[in-house]
């Protein structure tokens, strides 16, 4: 479970803006937090609050508590819960600068490419940036916006500190675990900001993550001697400015840092009186907002305007260019560097030859080389390839060849991390790992007690040569030692974000580099971090990131401020930048950890120094006018600028020629100019003499790149008492036609005492400005142009003409053409260009390329789909089918693992001649991977995903699982580690399979999904299966939705499209993929459960549900204790009862089974504390059996949990045991609707009942990708199958069944097949009772649609409801589209088609759908008509009627008998609903037609 929590943390933080902006833009009625920014705060607080209230009340429709927070000190504005409509209305009000959704920003602690865990990676700085001669107390106050503080840490001792500065206006807030006594003369203030979404755990300044405590102690922590991380890197821990005061503003939690809280903290900090602000957080480079929508840029502007230095981390998305964030010119932007310390874990070979390695491990091996050494390649299993074994991939090593040996593995160009390879080696009995890799850079990763080290490819060749030349190769891996005075240092680590700035290429960013790798600082005491065996938890931690670099600079800024109290923020920034160094400790140029020479895009002005910055000689002061001009240059008008700034002069106006290139002229301590060809470019700078001598002369030294001439005028700066400020002009000229790359140089002014250096960059292109909402940003848009009626070549020409008509220059904007099933294209466009294209004739819609997600559930605790153990050994298929069919299923997903036995073509006939598809060839996939079963495979490249996207091969497992569930061949005697053993077989094993890989680790791109639809239509598939879709809050308009668009054209061409309903239940209105032409599938359980029972000391057995491979004895001989009885002295009873992190006493837990109330109990933490097992009393998992691996854990419903707690409290020596999981067959009741399955009603239209159908989606067993196997139980071989849950798994059950129906009834249309499956569905479980939800409430059609699928009745349905294209065209009319749009959309719309005169939304109820949904708003009648087609064996037959009607509603059907003849295959009937009173709730019923052979049922819903 710990891994799941980490996944939640990383995933939420990484996608912070993708989620918030999409929900804001696409659901006008939903409420979310918006920030309303109103510029400078010039009125009184009370006056501002009134202004805010009036503005808010002007748009609210009712008196609701919308206000979240007021901003009234440093700037004016507020945060409130608003709909998009209300937000747009406020945005038009006078005095409002911007209105934007509250973004969630992330902490800038890196995890590296090897997934560094900041809580465990051991890196330290024992030379903090401070001056030994500083006084013990200073009045400078540093404010930190982060995760809070652990006030008891020794770093925050007040010893030697003087009284709190009298100007301090802040406070130390009280909370349940924090009070005024936690503050002192060092920590003088602490605030928190309540999560607007109601996360109660955030209502305290106390740090629960450790990040804020680490940052604060790095910046201003008091000196603490003898600090270390488990003995490594021992030394003193001391902040950059230990004499400064500290104020903490907790704005971040597990779920990130909300923009509204960040702005609240800026607002308070300005009023409180801080001098410096430090923010180790920010946006991701791909999701940066506009400058006026960016909480950090806004807050920092007003702070700097009030004289406060603001230092921010540059981000951890390097080494790619253009990744630096927090790049506004008023922010001091900090990159990361290494220090002169390394962590070495050497390999000793036979003959005592030592090979240097890097890593953190506490190896228990002997120091002598006495352990057998083996190469992965020579230890391969018979089934694995040489490459897989060489790289030690899961399931590639033969345990008999590896057990008891040190293994050498080649990790070059491999997607597996060292940590993952360790697990592979451990699982087959290896005792150590030597990993050859070139991807770790300067980072020493943490491997715990397992002997593991990383070596260079060069040293790897040496070891391999030794193995090949020795009859008995031996080695050992030494435990880590600390290497001091490591050279070269500093280096720029790969993770540190790089320039140039996307905001403006005329500002050089980052500004400065500072230590951000291997930084030791204080940590929280209740951390759940892994503890090495035999050690006590460390009060310090060592982590990496620009998060760690930033407080080095903010600490230094505090010291500079203490020495120079009258200096403004820009002077302090200048002092730090102009005194930076560019050489390492070998006196050569600073490099990156890849070995390339660093540039200002890597480190800005250079590496910070701690003494020269205190007396810089000259400073570049960037004043408010510079920043106001900057706002003009980037496109803001003067009216907006005057609203933003409190200090703007009355006569201020934007310069007439306010081009972006003029940004180069703001008085910044670095220079960046755009240089596009021959000629010259000039900029001006002004310096202020702050040295000790008034009379002095500075001379210049220019370092210019080849081919560029740099002229300074004047060429000397002569300062006098009356001339403290002097300006100079820099003229850049060149004879080059144009620059081939950006060029770097520097200008240095020096006298006899000071050296003042400014870097410059000459860029080869015009200003870059990329953000989410700006009109100049480029992102992929989809241009949808309706039906494809012309030739492919003609369509491509049409697309090219439209695209070229809006492009400003010849650029490669086109991403993909759509030309088979429909017309359109995807292209990289600015919003302005996209808006222009949207106005062109023939264009239906233009919308940003959305990222959809796979619909495999992770449950409430983010079940990891690769390890959830759930199975279905009764797949939807008929044993009587022939072994081959010409029906072709297309699956749009993550690709395929073609070697799996599920895709064996044994017994299959020739490939259908109508098949027009292909099997693409890539480096790891070729035509031989296809066969008569798997007849086609395509992929759609995602450049952001790298090489893994350039292949149809499945690296995730999801697509392989889905495909085998739908049409997999029979595979005998398979299981998931002996659980749920049986045969694996798809729903239609006789059908063919075509794969379209449109999904990757980052999701499923809309443009790729549309391309897959387009190709599948041309290829000739019969059924399409999509186990993916949007989140409920991010659903698009009908024709901005790639799945809806593609499905419409596929259905129009006779292809049935089956889609997952989503995993956002059990809330209402969460169903997605709900267009009427889509077959929408909800999930159910099956008649199998996984039982792990708890046996108490009195021999009572309590049933539990979980997957575990417990090694406990079956007799109840283990002590058992409740979390409440195991609490620490500091924790609350409530926290301990729920086993919250840090709440349990290890001495009380050790050797016992722990019982926790609620889902918070963490098996990894209980295990770390020495516990024997864990019992979770909770209902949040519902019918899902959570997989806990080897640790004994079971989940018990609360109604049974009471007796366990009573037993513990009433028994002097309570005992128990947890039994390992067993498979329970014929489990009752089943099916049930699991909590995760998304529910209706549809947000698209309440006149269509969605979802349509229910199918097995919990505990589904199917094939898996060999590349995605993780979590192998001890002593087991990896399983090539997996068992996972979600509507992702339900969908292929239905698409497989649809293939079987199509095989039996080849002439049936998509809607007829849908009808056959829906009208034959069941509504009772295996107890012959109505289907229930797993909360035990009665389910409704909003949960399961027509009911649970059946596998035989659907093959011969008797009657079908055929929904034809005219129905769908009428639906578009009723939904508000005009006739001209509809004729563009549809290829089959007749020339004389027109929308019905009364095209109201309620008429949607009349489309010929196999369910009925009508709106009844009061007394009276509502009627609908349906038409059925006789597809039974008898032409002459009579069907009779049965109506199941809710009370107080009369249902009349005319006629009440349907008499079919040879000439009357189609008959219609009318249903009239009469309500005696207004509905209080939505009501449900059904209409069923039966003859002596068939029963044809459709559900109905009456909505209020």
Annotated active-site positions, please?
Answer: 146, 211, 547, 893, 958, 1288
Is the CB of residue 749 less than 8 Å from the CB of residue 687?
Answer: yes
Query: How far is residue 1487's CA from residue 615's CA, in Å, rounded to a whole number?
Result: 87
Half-sphere exposure of residue 208: CA atoms within 13 angstroms, side-chain side: 20
For residue 937, give the nearest of 995, 881, 979 by alpha carbon. 995
Pairing of strands 1193-1196, 1173-1177: parallel
The length of the chain, given as a count of residues? 1504
Cβ neighbors of 13 (< 8 A, separation 6 or more) are: 104, 106, 107, 255, 256
Distance between terminal CA atoms of the chain?
42
Q: What six digits make up the tokens of 210?
A: 């450790």
Q: What six digits make up the tokens of 779?
A: 């992102």
Pairing of strands 32-37, 98-101: antiparallel
Is the CB of residue 508 less than 8 Å from the CB of residue 499?
Answer: yes
Cα–chain-centroid distance for residue 647?
40
Q: Tokens 């302090």 map to which residue?
A: 572
Half-sphere exposure of residue 498: CA atoms within 13 angstroms, side-chain side: 15
Is the CB of residue 872 less than 8 Å from the CB of residue 1086?
Answer: yes
Q: What six digits make up the tokens of 942?
A: 């995602």
Tell me how far CA of residue 600 lies from CA of 202, 547, 569, 1481, in angstroms. Answer: 39, 19, 22, 65
- Please list the helix, strand and coil fractions of the chain in percent, rounded to the nearest 5, in that order: 25, 25, 50
Query: How far is residue 1149's CA from residue 1159's CA, in Å, rounded to a whole number?
Result: 18
For residue 1293, give the nearest of 886, 997, 1001, 889 by alpha carbon. 889
Q: What six digits make up the tokens of 541?
A: 């931690």
10 Å Cβ neighbour count for 985? 27
Query: How far is residue 348's CA from residue 368's CA, in Å, rounded to a whole number?
Result: 7
Is the CB of residue 103 less than 8 Å from the CB of residue 13?
Answer: no
For residue 202, give the nearest of 255, 151, 138 by alpha carbon. 255
Where are the strands (E) in 932-1027, listed by range?
Answer: 934-939, 971-976, 979-984, 992-997, 999-1000, 1003-1005, 1023-1026
Cβ neighbors of 819 (< 8 A, separation 6 or more) are: 788, 792, 795, 796, 1014
CB burial string 1227-1253: b at 16+ within 10 A, e below: bebbbbbbbbbbbbbbbbbbbbbbbbb
Is the CB of residue 1465 less than 8 Å from the CB of residue 1430?
Answer: yes
Give the DSSP H or E segment for 1430: strand 1420-1430
Query: How far is residue 1404's CA from residue 795's CA, in Å, rounded to a whole number?
Result: 33
Q: What six digits make up the tokens of 914?
A: 């109508």
Is the CB of residue 586 less than 8 Å from the CB of residue 488?
Answer: yes
10 Å Cβ neighbour count for 1166? 27
Cβ neighbors of 595 (< 8 A, separation 6 or more) are: none
Q: What six digits make up the tokens of 1252?
A: 């349509």
For the chain, the farthest-separated pair of C-alpha atoms sits apart, in whole angstroms, at 114
């Amino acid at each position: 479970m710990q891994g799941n929590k980490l996944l939640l943390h990383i995933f939420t933080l990484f996608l912070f803006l993708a989620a918030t902006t999409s929900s804001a833009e696409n659901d006008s009625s939903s409420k979310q937090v918006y920030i309303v920014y109103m510029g400078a705060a010039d009125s009184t607080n009370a006056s501002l609050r009134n202004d805010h209230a009036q503005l808010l009340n002007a748009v609210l429709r009712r008196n609701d508590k919308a206000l979240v927070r007021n901003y009234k000190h440093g700037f004016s504005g507020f945060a409130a819960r608003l709909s998009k409509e209300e937000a747009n209305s406020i945005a038009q009000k006078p005095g409002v600068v911007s209105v934007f959704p509250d973004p969630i920003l992330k902490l800038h602690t890196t995890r590296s490419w090897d997934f560094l865990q900041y809580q465990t990676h051991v890196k330290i700085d024992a030379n903090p940036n401070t001056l030994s001669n500083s006084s013990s107390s200073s009045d400078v106050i540093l404010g930190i916006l982060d995760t809070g503080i652990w006030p008891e840490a020794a770093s925050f001792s007040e010893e030697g500190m003087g009284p709190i500065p009298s100007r301090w206006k802040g406070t130390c807030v009280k909370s349940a675990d924090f009070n005024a006594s936690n503050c002192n003369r060092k920590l003088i203030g602490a605030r928190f900001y309540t999560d607007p979404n109601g996360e109660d755990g955030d209502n305290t300044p106390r740090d629960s993550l450790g990040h804020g405590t680490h940052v604060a102690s790095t910046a201003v922590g008091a000196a603490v001697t003898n600090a270390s991380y488990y003995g490594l890197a021992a030394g003193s821990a001391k902040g950059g400015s230990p004499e400064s005061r500290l104020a903490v503003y907790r704005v971040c939690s597990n779920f990130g840092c909300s923009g509204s809280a960040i702005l609240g903290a800026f607002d308070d900090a300005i009023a409180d009186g801080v001098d410096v602000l430090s923010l180790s957080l920010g946006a991701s480079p791909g999701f940066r907002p506009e400058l006026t929508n960016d909480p950090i840029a806004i807050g920092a502007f007003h702070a700097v305007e009030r004289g406060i230095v603001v230092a921010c981390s540059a981000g951890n998305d390097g080494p790619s260019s253009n990744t630096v964030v927090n790049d506004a010119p008023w922010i001091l932007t900090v990159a990361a560097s290494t220090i002169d310390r390394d962590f070495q874990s050497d390999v000793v070979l036979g003959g005592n030859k030592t090979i240097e390695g890097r890593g953190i491990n506490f190896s228990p091996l002997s120091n002598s080389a006495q352990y057998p050494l083996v190469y992965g390649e020579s230890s391969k299993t018979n089934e694995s390839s040489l490459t897989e074994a060489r790289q030690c991939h899961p399931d590639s090593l033969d345990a008999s060849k590896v057990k008891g040996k040190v293994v050498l593995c080649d990790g070059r160009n491999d997607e597996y991390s060292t940590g993952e390879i360790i697990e592979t080696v451990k699982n087959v009995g290896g005792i150590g790992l030597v990993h050859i890799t070139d991807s770790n850079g300067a980072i020493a990763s943490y491997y715990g007690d397992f002997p593991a080290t990383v070596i260079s490819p060069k040293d790897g060749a040496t070891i391999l040569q030794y193995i090949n030349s020795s009859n008995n190769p031996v080695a050992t891996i030494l435990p880590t030692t600390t290497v001091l005075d490591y050279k070269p240092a500093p280096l720029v680590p790969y993770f540190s974000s790089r320039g140039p700035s996307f905001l403006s290429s005329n500002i050089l960013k980052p500004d400065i580099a500072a230590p951000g790798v291997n930084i030791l600082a204080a940590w929280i005491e209740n951390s759940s971090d892994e503890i090495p065996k035999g050690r006590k938890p460390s009060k310090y931690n060592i982590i990496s990131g620009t998060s760690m670099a930033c407080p080095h600079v903010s600490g230094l800024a505090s010291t500079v401020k203490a020495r120079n109290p009258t200096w403004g923020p820009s002077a302090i920034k200048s002092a730090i930048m102009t005194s930076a160094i560019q050489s390492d400790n070998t006196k050569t140029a600073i490099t990156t950890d890849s070995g390339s020479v660093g540039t200002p895009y890597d480190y800005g002005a250079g590496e910070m120094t701690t003494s020269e910055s205190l007396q810089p000689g000259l400073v570049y002061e960037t004043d408010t006018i510079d920043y106001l001009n900057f706002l003009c240059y980037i496109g803001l008008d003067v009216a907006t600028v005057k609203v933003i700034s409190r200090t703007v002069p009355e006569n201020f106006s934007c310069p007439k020629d306010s081009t972006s290139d003029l940004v180069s002229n703001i008085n910044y301590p670095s220079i960046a100019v755009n240089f596009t060809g021959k000629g010259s470019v000039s900029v001006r700078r002004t310096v202020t003499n702050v040295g000790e001598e008034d009379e002095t002369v500075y001379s210049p030294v220019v370092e210019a790149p080849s081919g560029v001439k740099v002229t300074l005028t004047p060429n000397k700066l002569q300062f006098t008492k009356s001339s403290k400020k002097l300006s100079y002009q820099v003229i850049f000229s060149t004879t080059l036609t144009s620059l081939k790359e950006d060029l770097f140089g520097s200008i240095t002014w020096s006298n006899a005492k000071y050296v003042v250096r400014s870097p410059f960059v000459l860029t080869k292109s015009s200003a870059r400005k990329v953000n989410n909402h700006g009109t100049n940003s480029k992102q992929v848009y989809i241009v949808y142009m309706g039906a494809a009626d012309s030739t492919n070549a003609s369509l491509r020409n049409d697309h090219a003409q439209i695209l070229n008509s809006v492009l400003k220059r010849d650029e490669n904007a086109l991403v993909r053409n759509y030309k088979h099933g429909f017309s359109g294209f995807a292209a990289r466009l600015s919003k302005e260009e996209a808006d222009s294209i949207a106005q062109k004739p023939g264009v239906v819609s233009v919308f940003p390329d959305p990222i959809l997600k796979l619909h495999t559930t992770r449950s409430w605790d983010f079940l990891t789909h690769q390890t959830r153990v759930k199975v279905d050994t009764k797949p939807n298929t008929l044993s009587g089918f022939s072994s081959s069919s010409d029906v072709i299923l297309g699956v749009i997903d993550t690709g395929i693992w073609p070697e799996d036995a599920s895709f064996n073509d044994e017994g299959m006939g020739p490939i259908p001649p109508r098949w027009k598809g292909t099997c693409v060839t890539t480096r790891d996939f070729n035509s031989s991977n296809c066969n008569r079963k798997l007849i086609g495979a395509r992929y759609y490249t995602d450049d952001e995903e790298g090489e893994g996207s350039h292949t149809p091969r499945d690296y995730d497992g999801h697509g392989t699982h889905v495909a085998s569930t739908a049409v997999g061949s029979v595979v005998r005697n398979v299981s998931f580690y002996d659980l749920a053993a049986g045969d694996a077989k798809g729903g239609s094993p006789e059908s063919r399979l075509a794969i379209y890989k449109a999904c990757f680790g980052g999701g499923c791109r809309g443009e790729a999904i549309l391309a897959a639809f387009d190709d599948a239509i041309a290829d000739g598939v019969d059924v399409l299966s999509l186990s993916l879709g949007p989140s409920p809050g991010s659903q698009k308009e009908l024709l901005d939705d790639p799945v809806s668009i593609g499905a419409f054209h596929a259905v129009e061409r006779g292809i049935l499209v089956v889609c997952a309903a989503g995993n956002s239940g059990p809330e209402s209105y969460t169903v997605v993929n709900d267009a009427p032409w889509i077959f929408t599938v909800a999930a159910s359980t099956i008649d199998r459960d996984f039982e792990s029972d708890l046996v108490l000391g009195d021999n009572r057995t309590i049933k539990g549900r979980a997957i575990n491979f417990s090694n406990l004895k079956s007799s109840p001989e283990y002590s058992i204790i409740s979390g409440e009885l195991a609490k620490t002295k500091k924790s609350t009873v409530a926290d301990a009862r729920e086993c919250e992190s840090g709440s349990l006493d290890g001495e009380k837990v050790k050797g016992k089974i722990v019982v926790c109330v609620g889902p918070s109990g963490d098996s990894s933490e209980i295990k770390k504390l020495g516990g024997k097992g864990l019992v979770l009393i909770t209902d949040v998992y519902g019918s899902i059996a959570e997989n806990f691996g080897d640790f004994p854990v079971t989940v018990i419903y609360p109604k049974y949990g009471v007796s366990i707690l009573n037993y513990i409290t009433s028994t002097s020596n309570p005992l128990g045991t947890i039994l390992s999981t067993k498979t329970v067959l014929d489990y009752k009741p089943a099916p049930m609707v699991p909590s995760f399955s998304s529910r209706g009603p549809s947000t698209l239209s309440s006149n269509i009942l969605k979802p349509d159908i229910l199918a097995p989606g919990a505990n589904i067993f199917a094939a898996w990708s060999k590349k995605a196997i993780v979590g192998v139980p001890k002593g087991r071989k990896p399983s090539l199958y997996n068992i996972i849950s979600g509507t992702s798994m339900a969908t292929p059950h239905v698409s497989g069944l649809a293939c079987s129906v199509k095989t039996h009834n080849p002439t049936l249309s998509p809607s007829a097949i849908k009808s056959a499956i829906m009208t034959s569905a069941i509504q009772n479980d295996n107890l012959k009772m109505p289907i229930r939800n797993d909360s035990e409430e009665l389910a409704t059609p909003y949960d399961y649609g027509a009911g649970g699928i059946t596998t035989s009745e659907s093959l011969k349905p008797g009657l079908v409801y055929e929904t034809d294209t005219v129905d769908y065209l009428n639906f578009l009319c009723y939904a508000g589209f005009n006739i001209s749009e509809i004729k563009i959309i549809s290829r089959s719309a007749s020339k004389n088609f027109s929308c019905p005169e009364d095209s109201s939304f309620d008429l949607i109820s009349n489309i010929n759908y196999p369910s009925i949904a009508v709106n009844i708003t009061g007394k009276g009648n509502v009627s609908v008509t349906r038409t059925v087609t006789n597809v039974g064996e008898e032409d002459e037959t009579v069907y009779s009627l049965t109506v199941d009607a809710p009370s107080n509603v009369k249902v009349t059907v005319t006629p009440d008998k349907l008499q079919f003849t040879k000439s009357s295959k189609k008959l219609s009937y009318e249903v009239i609903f009469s309500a005696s009173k207004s509905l209080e709730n939505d009501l449900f019923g059904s209409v069923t037609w039966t003859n002596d052979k068939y029963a044809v049922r459709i559900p109905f819903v009456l909505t209020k």
